[in-house]
Amino acid sequence: MIVVVGSINLDMITTVGRLPGPGETVRGTGFATAPGGKGANQALAAARAGAAVRMIGAVGKDSFAAEALALLRQGGVNLSGVREAQSATGTAAILVDEAGENMIALAPGANDSVLPGDLSRAAPKKGDVVLLQQEIPLATVQAALDAAAAAGAMTVLNTAPFFAETAGHLGKADFAVANETEFDLYCEALALAGDDRAARMRAYARKTGRAIVVTLGGDGVLAATPDEMLSVPALKIVPVDTVGAGDTFCGYFAAGLGAGLPLREALERAAAAASLACLKPGAQPAIPLATEVAAALK
């Protein structure tokens, strides 16, 4: 079982010719809404990878809630741990340019009400993988890491969005997953030594005794454990939209670990899935099925 404790949003996506600068207005070329939120995206990715998934989170008592949960329901994710909060369903305003790059502004809403007490509905056990991100209160993330460790479950912490205070509990996760910018910032917070990123990743693994995975966009993925360093390429594609690619990686990666795949194989499968997610617009609608990923890897 993959237990995802995290955010649930409704994404409002505007496509533009180029991303605006401060104080600038640019004309949009299209608009759509789609279910999103890092937690929900990763839960759906794990489900489409073939895993059994339980989601812990919150939505509002508003018209956005049903749409925010629609694809999770369709994907067979267990939503018994999702409750209704008094605040609005979380939203994300997303701008996507012609090259597929994006800017995102979040309004957390109900996600801020996901508190440590909600973890009683998570009930992780030995053999489960607990998947976390940082769009819910950090106290809840820390409590989930502790609860998973007590239960003997494996943990995967996606460090997005970046918070300097996360450095204090980053090493509690069996696998920390960061993009290159986030990892470089954590290197400063943790005072990691090394002449390049790979060396600093090795320093992290030695210091914590845990694994670090750094996603590099079109350049693939690096991973360091106390025992080895791995490099996995991304698929060669022309991206349409990079929204949700990192979440697709995390969901597929957690599902691979939960299925007992060797680390390299779990990384290869996740990297391929993330690449395929860039070929369609949106976050959840773009997450590929396991059959599509298997075909791409062949």
Domains defined for the chain, CATH in brackets: 2-8+37-89+111-297 (3.40.1190.20)
3-state secondary structure at position 12: strand
Q: 3-class SS at 121? A: helix
How many whole angstroms separate alpha carbon 190 and alpha carbon 15?
Answer: 37
Catalytic amino acids?
247
Residue 213: which of 162, 261, 255, 174 has the closest Cα? 174
Joined tokens for residue 247: 């979440």
How does pLDDT run along the chain (298 residues), one tens digit per residue? 999 999 999 989 899 999 999 999 999 999 989 899 999 999 999 999 999 999 999 999 999 999 999 999 999 999 999 999 999 999 989 898 988 788 888 899 999 999 999 898 888 999 999 999 999 999 999 999 999 999 999 999 999 999 989 888 899 999 999 999 999 999 888 888 888 999 999 999 999 999 999 999 889 999 999 999 999 999 998 888 788 899 999 999 999 999 999 999 999 999 999 999 999 887 899 999 999 999 999 8
> Residue 298's pLDDT is what?
86
Q: Identify the sign of the CA torsion 11, 119, 113, 67.
A: positive
| Residue spans of alpha helices (H) in the chain | 38-48, 63-74, 138-151, 180-190, 197-208, 245-258, 263-277, 290-297
pLDDT tens sequence across 159-179: 999 998 988 889 999 999 999
- Going by C-alpha positions, the residue among 27, 41, 46, 19 that lies closest to residue 251 is 46
**Separation between Cα atoms, residue 6 and residue 61, nearest integer Å:** 18
Degrees to nearest 5, angle at CA 255 with 102 and 276: 40
pTM for the model: 0.92
Q: Which tokens belong to 45?
A: 């990715």
